Homo-oligomer: A and B are copies of this chain.
Amino acid sequence: MAEDLADFEKLRAELNKEILECGHLGIKRFFALDTQAYEPGALPAKVKELLGLVASTVLRCDDCITYHLLRCGQEGWKRAEVIDALNVALIVGGSITVPHVRRAFARMHEIAGLRP
């Protein structure tokens, strides 16, 4: 892993701030829509975070996986449930997702509620 979770969150927050203040309204609105997509709607936020985790895993984005693992822990998903979701992603996405699943397991060491 390139960085621990605190460093990841700090860098992510700094760059998001720079992007939101860059003056492009379209990007700002997309960031707002992205946030809203995980807020309670017809589906509860808890389910949506698990959807985000699986989407991030099959699309193989480590930063996105880290973010949604963190949120899944906050929403109260248990380790066994997150692992069961990662299995769906592994079967859909195949062995090419394995390095990302490995890093997801490593990242869970840092997240309350998802530790072994």
Q: Interface SS of chain A: helix, strand, loop or mixed? A: helix
- Chain B residue numbers with a CB within 8 Å of A43 are 50, 81, 84-85
A112 within 8 A of B: no
Report the interface size class on chain A: 35 or more
Q: How far is the CA of A52 from the CA of B92 in the complex (A)?
A: 8
A-B pairs, top 6 by smallest CB distance, nearest first, are A94-B94, A63-B99, A42-B84, A42-B80, A15-B102, A37-B91
Question: Could you list 7 further interchain pairs (A-B, Cβ under 8 angstroms) beyond the known A12-B102, A55-B89, A64-B96?
Answer: A34-B95, A34-B98, A38-B88, A47-B47, A58-B94, A92-B96, A94-B94
Residues of A whose CB lies within 8 Å of any CB of B are 2, 12, 15-16, 18-19, 22-24, 26-27, 29-31, 33-34, 36-38, 41-43, 47-48, 50-52, 54-56, 58-61, 63-64, 78, 80-81, 83-99, 101-103, 105-106, 116
